[in-house]
Amino acid sequence: MIGSADVVVIGGGIAGIGAAAMAAEGAKVVVLEGEAHIGHHSTGRSAAIFIRNYGNAALRALNAASAPLLEAPDGISDRSLLSPRGELMFATMADLPALAAYADGAAGLEHLNADEACALVPILRRDRIAAAVLERDAQDIDVDRFLQGLARMLRARGGVIETGAQAAAITRVGGVWRIETAKGVIEAPVLVNASGAWADEVARMAGIAPIGLVPMRRSAAIIPAPQGRDITRWPLFVPASEGFYAKPEAGRLMISPADEDPVPPHDAWPEDMVIAEGIARYEEAVTIPVTRVERTWAGLRSFVPDRTPVVGFAPGAATLDGPRFLWLAGQGGYGVQTAPALSRLAADLILGRAPALPAAVCAALDPARLA
């Protein structure tokens, strides 16, 4: 028997641990994670990049609101979670409209010509670059330090993380949720659904209408540095068509096919053909072919149709006398970099505080829009 709490969070990824750590400031919080370790699914498989201009207007607002905490993670880590990387987006003649669409409304972009782009990433094929933009303040995120720091903050505030505790059944009993796990039963008046790709399954279990979440597989491969070059300072580089992206990773190069294949929620793995096709698109853009793939992996990026996260109490389940159900889902490919702002919003809603985020951003995230 695990007992009772003010808040039960289902999901020990960056979303669940972040929201729990921040809500634990004013509530007794228990996180249930089905796996043996936190961060096992999407959170542990990301490309670990912060890109301020990534995503639609609501996401750009969340990115901006998240940057200060990533830079100065008080109570989470003793130093910045970010380190310099940069993002270079380049376009062929045919892809110029896509580059212009990305640059539209984006802050802090430098426009580069082909020579300047090749000076940053010397293996790019100069003849295929019509124009490029550099986002200098795109930065690497130390995801593990972020996640473990949040977990420490949660525990220091009296919160509990139960691993190996898959939520298997959820019922309403009076004013509380009753959640059954292999480790026992826990009851709480507030349930936070931070279960990543499984969020619609968890909602159905609780009798809450699903939000139409679609998990999409995204794969990655690690190759040795091209011809043994020192690639440490190369930026992430991506064609405006987004047919792949590549990023230095501890002296090696990570290449993602930038795949978005809809799949059921599961422990994702990469398909050889998807990796091969992504590497072929990479090889079209560079002068040095891939000779060896060292390892591959895949994870799930889960989206609702408007590709904006879903954060807020489920409509109809928000009455004060009944148990309340908070959505914290649909973070897509932005869940690590937006975790500071989304965790804070979840905590504000749980603790009944006025949200720190602007009302228009909160409205864009509200699950009521999907009803």
Ligand X SMILES: Cc1cc2nc3c(=O)[nH]c(=O)nc-3n(C[C@H](O)[C@H](O)[C@H](O)COP(=O)(O)OP(=O)(O)OC[C@H]3O[C@@H](n4cnc5c(N)ncnc54)[C@H](O)[C@@H]3O)c2cc1C
Q: What does the DSSP assignment read for 231-272?
A: -TTPPEEEETT-S-EEEEETTEEEEE----EE--SS-----H
- Tell me the C-alpha distance between 371 and 369, whole Å: 6
Query: Which region among 43-51, 102-110, 148-156, 346-354 touches ligand X (by CB under 6 A)?
Result: 43-51
By CB under 6 A, residue 11 contacts ligand X: yes
Buried b (16+ CB within 10 A) or exposed e, 210-241: ebebbbbbbbbbbbbbbeeeebeebbbbbbbb
Strands 236-239 and 214-223: unpaired
- The residue from 8, 16, 99, 237 that contacts ligand X (CB under 6 A) is 16
Over the window 283 to 312, marking each residue x when it contacts ligand X by CB under 6 A and - when it does not, the resulting string is ----------------xxx-----------
Answer for the pair 294, 223: CB distance below 8 angstroms, yes or no: yes
* Burial label, 168 (beta-carbon count in 10 A; 0-12, 13-18, 19+): exposed
Nearer to ligand X, 243 or 335 (CB): 335
Nearer to ligand X, 125 or 152 (CB): 152
Nearer to ligand X, 129 or 326 (CB): 326
Our measurement of the distance from residue 297's CA atom to the centroid of its chain's CA atoms, rounded to an integer in Å, reads 16
- The residue from 60, 218, 324, 344 that contacts ligand X (CB under 6 A) is 218
By CB under 6 A, residue 52 contacts ligand X: no
Query: Which region among 120-128, 193-201, 284-292, 353-361 touches ligand X (by CB under 6 A)?
Result: 193-201
By CB under 6 A, residue 196 contacts ligand X: yes
One-letter amino acid at 192 equals: V
In the complex, minimum distance from the CB of residue 207 to ligand X, in angstroms, rounded to a whole number: 15
* Burial label, 150 (beta-carbon count in 10 A; 0-12, 13-18, 19+): buried
Alpha-carbon torsion angle 176, 177, 180, 184, nearest 10? -40
Helix segments in the chain, DSSP class H? 14-23, 57-71, 96-103, 114-120, 143-156, 199-206, 272-285, 339-351, 359-365
- Tell me the C-alpha distance between 362 and 182, whole Å: 35
In the complex, minimum distance from the CB of residue 61 to ligand X, in angstroms, rounded to a whole number: 15
Nearer to ligand X, 325 or 334 (CB): 334
By CB under 6 A, residue 335 contacts ligand X: yes
By CB under 6 A, residue 53 contacts ligand X: no
Nearer to ligand X, 299 or 355 (CB): 299
- The residue from 226, 248, 312, 333 that contacts ligand X (CB under 6 A) is 333
Nearer to ligand X, 48 or 123 (CB): 48
- The residue from 5, 7, 9, 15 that contacts ligand X (CB under 6 A) is 15
- The residue from 34, 159, 243, 340 that contacts ligand X (CB under 6 A) is 34
Binding stretches for ligand X (CB under 6 A)? 10-16, 32-35, 40-43, 45-49, 166-167, 194-196, 198, 202, 218, 220, 299-301, 331-337
